[in-house]
Structure 1
């Protein structure tokens, strides 16, 4: 034991895992890592993030054509156990579901169970030339996953374990002695030789193939450029990573918003559900699973603010891609925010922002007959979990330590990735530090700000500018010549007014004499009949200069929405 401890202390370089050049999944696309299993080696791609045993799909899974005549799992690679000389499925006494068909969950989420025929096994796993022996596996001979409407869909990828609280997984043996299986990262930490890692830990950002955000997975350390700002560090529990989710909200990083008001944009976690505690709910990190699994009421509250339609067969929300709100939302700096209890504390929060750009994911065959955009919130009464959809925009890591330790959660960047900054996680580290890189800058150039609606602030500003301009005009002086000209003009105008008054009075007396009746009243039938001509009441004296030859019939009120969209969007 002392020999490998010495090598660990001297090791300073984390081990970087290799990601596949392809993307996978009928509900992504998703990144996956590459490993080689067995002797001779067989390359497969796996979703990273599990604990304890890795889940491996055997080539026999394609022999069952009941669920699908096409084997979708072939793309990522399947393992043929009969071709490996180092494969062992007989030494371990423990069985999966007593060796019969039964349910199995690859991650923490329980909403889409896997039904399969599987068993425990061990084999060697090669990562970049380092061969870990006797790695703990659950191999799936036959299987499928079941969606909410009861429809069965084929499996496509397995899951790579990233360790456990213990360095080994100990099983009883069919031959009496115990069997010690291992994990890729615990092997590198303890027996890695020249590739030994500094600690039994990892740091990961899954990223997004759609936006060219490459995956990042380091064993024994992390890429600091993938950790933005503050980090939440909290104890893991068993092999699970729990954290308190306090709220879910909507927001915009910059520019305008598709939401006409700020109402109902916060407090979405407990909206319409009095059973949710004001302090929040416990959710689990689960990058093995695809979606974001929350109370159905929470998903519905979020969806009420989005142009989506609930599809009950799959338990997911389809984007209404013909909606103007959709195109604005998924191309703008709009985001879904998750507020957590930072460091397992009641005093501090950590907020992770997931742009809606990343939540515009694609369903493909066999889940749907043609490509369909969807929003990955799945309501559940079971375990609340944060899957790959969340970890497109978030960093996760852990320092397993020696049975006790902390796991880490932080904001991850967008497509504008900075230079890789490989950072060691030391064996005794209880937290890690993030970079001061800007999350907004990491998305610059990849979204388009929406126009802002004129606000009271801009109106006030414009009014102030106008007032200032008026004050400037009033305070400006006039030249002496100008003043003299104005005085002369006023004198001439005064004389003209006197002559006009004398002429008007004379004309008025003459008019009355001609138009008076015997009883002394004015007979003006023509005038009385034209009371509303031109929009003026002509029964009263009217200033001739105010009478226009253009009709001034009152116009209909202007419909404001013709010029400014202020109403709610259709959310059907």
Structure 2
């Protein structure tokens, strides 16, 4: 059969996609971005290691913390400061002076996307718009992206801004006009981050020497954690992705567990504290000698208690897992995790050391903040909807880094570097990138597969044409249309021999090497030779449909209505705009345009303390 002759070639074409993986240097998959720490420790509830970015044209240097649930980068604007407070701008990581940026494009005022934090009584509203953003500062070699969603706020519930880490798009009108998030834009660059993922640990101000925080986009730093293989699935509520079951809490200074019955909690990078049930807080009070200040809702640490705890150096172990029973990871938190500094910006009148534990009124307030993330390493993989928690490490030198890419599911390879906590076997380190499946390999597979399909299609087309040509060349039996000799057929001797009219010559199929029979006219006609039927069946070809991939198109910001509410795509939560009374924001910088509420801005504007 003719098709059999093509079988070896077709087999070669099918394997072409595998062969071309050797050409994985065609292009680069991209690499993780290790966001530089600012070298500053700041915040009215820490201090905390911040990270540097630039916003605007000309660029303005801002210092921020990670915003785990933010699709818009949160920064502070001049209205947060009074004219007499000279330290205010620096205390907030720097201010974004929007009137000084030629690329600022204002959209409107909306509630901040802080659903979990709202449960804790932390509110805020933002003046949203678009501007150019650079990760890191000039000279850091980090990318610059235009038209990034920025939310300027004057909320006093947060001390430092937050870098948008939520890759889900945001929409200011409805679900039909999604606007790419920062993480999406980083994935769409010519040299992208390998996946929609990030990893963070808060560092330690109370260590000697101090250990800066670590934030990696598209990967993780394998030098900053102890690997394990426990995976946590994302919560079904996308406003609370990082759901964690606290199975048990113990301390080495008491025989009784501080928490013995598991509870479900949520991780937030925007808060400093750990929120636990009242009964658990009371056990902490007894074990650590804490006293609750009802006025400021803090556990203050006086000198006597603090010195005693420094000498005893207690350790708290939190056993956490995906469920209240089953697989778990134990995070050990020495006492240095638990003495933070509260300034008057937080308390309103006093400054001192406090213990970052909060009394939760109900289970909706169970939350885990940055105090926990000083000793824990969090790695989030949005393309697999999982995250990992592991014990943080504290390298003695800041240069001790092992940045590993978290590959997307289609490019996942087995990697010995990293382990479960940084994304399990989904990672490939820079030093081992040759052994992984790079974008070049993926591109090679795609190109090779496309060529294979084209050649296969050409072969099938040629075979089809040959089949049609063979059918046209084959003689066909036609009905007798010899009307001039409309004669009856005679049946002689019962042999059913049919006599056909002599006006039209008839042929019947012969054998595979058909012999042409010529009619002899008036002479004796040679009997017709009948061959065996040899039908050839042509197999139907499967229709190949190419999926059109989303491009890197531009959105039309003119479609955005200033009185519309932002959506996070996929959420069932809408921040609906409603009228609000005018807010008098005094003592703004003369160089700034005063921020007054839009006529149709949201109703729930929470007054600053």
Other-structure match for 2:129: 121
SS at match of 1:21: strand
* Structure 2 contact 227–420 (Cα < 8 Å) conserved: yes
- Does 1:169 find its partner at 2:173? no
Tell me how far apart the structure 1 counterparts of residues 89 and 66 of structure 2 sit (CA, whole Å). Answer: 16
**Paired residue for 1:157?**
160
Give the corresponding residue for 1:143: 155
The answer to whether the 8 A contact 1:394-1:411 is kept is yes
Q: Shift in Å at residue 105 of structure 1?
A: 3.7
In structure 2, distance between residues paired with 1:394 and 1:230: 12
1:298 aligns with one of 280, 291, 295: 280
Counterparts of residues 522-533 of structure 1 (less than 5 Å)? none
| 2:120 pairs with 1:111 | yes
Q: Distance in 2 between matches of 1:18 and 1:434?
A: 24
Specify the SS of the correspondent of 2:372. Answer: helix
Out of 203, 210, 216, the residue aligned to residue 207 of structure 1 is 203
Q: CA deviation at 1:430?
A: 11
Counterpart check, 1:77 vs 2:98: no
Residue pairs, 1:398-547, within 5 angstroms: 398-401=380-383, 404-414=384-394, 416=396, 419-428=400-409, 433=419
Structure 2 SS opposite 1:347? coil
Runs of 4+ in 1 over 6 A off after TM superposition: 6-9
1:57 to 55, 67, 76: 76
Q: Paired residue for 2:230?
A: 232
Aligned to 2:299: 317
* CA RMSD between the two structures: 3.1
- Is 1:96–2:110 an aligned residue pair? yes
Equivalent residue, structure 2, for 1:180 = 179
1:70: how far off?
A: 5.7
Give the alignment's TM-score, normalised by structure 2. 0.57
Question: Would the aligned equivalents of 1:227 and 1:434 in 2 still touch at CA under 8 Å?
Answer: no
Q: Give deviations 1:512-566, integer Å, cap 9, x for gaps.
A: xxxxxxxxxxxxxxxxxxxxxxxxxxxxxxxxxxxxxxxxxxxxxxxxxxxxxxx
Q: Provide the C-alpha distance between the structure 2 equivalents of 1:8 and 1:96, rounded to a whole number of angstroms.
A: 45
1:112 Cα deviation from its structure 2 partner? 3.8
Residues 179 and 245 of structure 1: is their aligned pair in 2 closer, same or farther, counting only changes over 3 Å? closer
* 1:388 alignment partner in structure 2: 370
Q: Which residue in 2 is equivalent to 1:130?
A: 143
Using a 3 Å threshold, how does the CA distance of structure 1 residues 299 and 430 change in structure 2: closer, same or farther?
farther
User: When the two structures are aligned, how many residues end up with a matched partner?
Assistant: 378
1:42 maps to 60
Q: Describe how 1:541-560 pairs up with structure 2 within 5 A.
A: none
Q: CA deviation at 1:365?
A: 2.8
- Any stretches of 5+ residues in structure 1 without a counterpart? 1-5, 98-102, 146-154, 252-258, 271-277, 437-572
Q: Secondary structure at the match of 1:230?
A: coil
Structure 2: segments with no counterpart, 5+ residues = 1-23, 137-141, 423-609
CA 1:331–1:214: 2 relative to 1, 3 Å: farther
Q: Higher relative contact order at CA 8 Å, sep ≥6: structure 1 or structure 2?
A: 2
Aligned to 1:249: 250
Structure-1 separation of matches of 2:311 and 2:31: 39
Cα separation, partners in 2 of 1:243 and 1:7, compared to 1, 3 Å? farther
**CA 1:60–1:127 in 2, change beyond 3 Å: closer, same or farther?**
same
TM-score between the two structures when normalised by the length of structure 1: 0.60
